Amino acid sequence: MYMDQQFEHMHLPIRGLNLHVAQAGKGDKGTVVFLHGFPEIWYSWRHQMLAVAAAGYRAVAPDWRGYGLSDEPPVEEEVVYDDLLDDLLGILDALSIPKVFLVGKDFGAVATYDFALRHPDRVCGVMCLGIPFTPFTASFPNMPEGFYMSRWLEPGRAEADFDRYDVKRVVRTIYILFSSSEIPIAKEDQEITDLADLLTPLPEWFSEKDLSVYASLYEKSGFRYPLKMPYRCIYMSDVLDRSTDKRETIENPKFQVPVFVVMGDKDYVNKLPGFETLLKGGIMAMFAPDLKIAFVPEGSHFVQEQFPDKVNELLIGFLKDHSVPATA
């Protein structure tokens, strides 16, 4: 089911947890580490991992703590955003990877940006999907009450919503909703998962087999921790129209490595307040002198699964344009 004949799987003891890592390729040209978002897992990078491995790179894709086959921290332990960055550093050290290309998606892109800023000596370049860089955590005080992020910030509400269904139904619903070009917003008498039902078809590029893989891996982790990481640890909301940034602010952030942002032009994220200005108004270039931005026609928030050949072409081109010594 996991295409195991093409991937090597292992667990690494990292900071008191056993974190699952999938790998492909030998890496004579360098190493590429893929960082997933929500509700994804390592498997969401399957197409890109095989492509970079075939191109002569080592592909590494961990499940974040609390996701997929990785251990979940104890329930009583505080969920801290910096755990992502510290875990990533631990993975690189455990695998003896001195320098790496990072590819991140969704909140994995946030971690990718921040890791590159904090550890530029360990990074060759970054490619991020679905999220532009901001030096602070975005907040959306003027969005309707039913805005999905506001609902998921409310402790217990999303858990109660998700608990009405089995894991497979929840993953199915999220993939349907977030592959749309519209921001998921529920009515007052609805929960977010009410916005799609079993009669709503899966995206044509997301098969029942893919859904079964995701569901089987979320059977282990569940959604308790994923709802906290990222939603309630990157920012919190005491009331639904006010967010408090929990990411460490980096003063005068300036990327010392190449940055490549890839967005689907039908990604709902493009409609979030301020994001279009970040992407098209030149703001990101203030922080990333070596910046490239590409839009994939018809691409959704899951563009790497929807149009794998196009994303692979962009990724391999980026790697070739910034070739590094084989030790990286």
Per-residue pLDDT of the chain (328 residues; tens, 9 = 90+): 455 679 999 999 999 999 999 999 988 899 999 999 999 999 999 999 999 999 999 999 999 999 999 999 998 888 889 999 999 999 999 999 999 999 999 999 999 999 999 999 999 999 999 999 988 767 787 899 999 999 998 889 999 999 999 999 999 999 999 999 999 999 999 999 999 988 999 999 999 999 999 999 888 788 999 999 988 887 544 334 334 446 666 778 999 999 999 999 999 999 998 888 888 888 899 999 999 999 999 999 999 999 999 999 999 999 999 987 655 5
Q: Is 297 exposed, middle or buried (0-12, 13-18, 19+ CB in 10 A)?
A: exposed
CB 263 within 8 A of CB 270: yes
Domain range annotation of the chain: 4-321
Q: Could you report how far apart the first and last alpha carbons of the chain are, in Å?
A: 31
Looking up tokens 């997301």 gives 206
**pTM, 2 dp:** 0.94
Amino acid at 287: F
- The yes or no reply on domain 4-321 and CATH 3.40.50.1820 is yes
> Strand, coil or helix: what is 85?
helix
For the chain, count helices (H), then strands (E): 12, 10
Q: Is 293 in a helix, a strand, or coil? A: strand
Using alpha carbons only, what angle is made at residue 276 by residues 239 and 303, rounded to the nearest 5 degrees? 95
Burial 8-33 (b: 16+ CB within 10 A, else e): eeeebebeebebbbbbbbebebbbbb
